[in-house]
Amino acid sequence: MLVSRRCDIENINLEPIKQIATDFRASLTATAIKFVRLCPEKCAVVYSVKGKIKWFYKSPDWWPFIHRGQKLDKRTLAYDFFVGEQMEPEPVEVDADAWVENRGLDEIVEHSIASSQYGFVLSILWIKP
């Protein structure tokens, strides 16, 4: 109950996830999964390593298919980290097919954060209503 209220937000991004992780002394990755599970919006968390999607966790209403093992598209924010470029710190609308099989979906919102120490990117993807 304490966490679920904090997951019901209008614009999905990593900031509330970071705050929940800090407040409950939990890992960002575990908190992102919990957030996606409890959030009423269509969203997914994607974990990327070495420029490829390693795994993802999606909300019950998320329908586009994400491919594990797929190389990141150069249009994604996560890609920028793996090629040594600065990632945009704010959520950005990207072409949906940069992340998912596009079935009538034009854009999704991506917000990504990288760990230079561990070499991964954690991305939250959101389908705006």
DSSP category for residue 3: T
Domains, the chain, in order of start with CATH, read 4-127 (3.30.450)
Q: What is the 3-state composition of the chain as percent helix, strand, coil, each rounded to the nearest 5?
A: 25, 30, 45
Q: 35 in the Ramachandran plot: left (φ > 0), alpha (ψ -120 to 50) or beta? A: alpha
Task: Note the pLDDT of residue 104.
Answer: 85
Task: Note the pLDDT of residue 102.
Answer: 75
* d(C-alpha 45, C-alpha 54), whole Å: 11
* d(C-alpha 14, C-alpha 12), whole Å: 7
Mean pLDDT for the chain overall: 95
Show the low-confidence residues of the chain (pLDDT under 70).
1
Task: Note the pLDDT of residue 103.
Answer: 78
The token duo for 74 is 């150069």
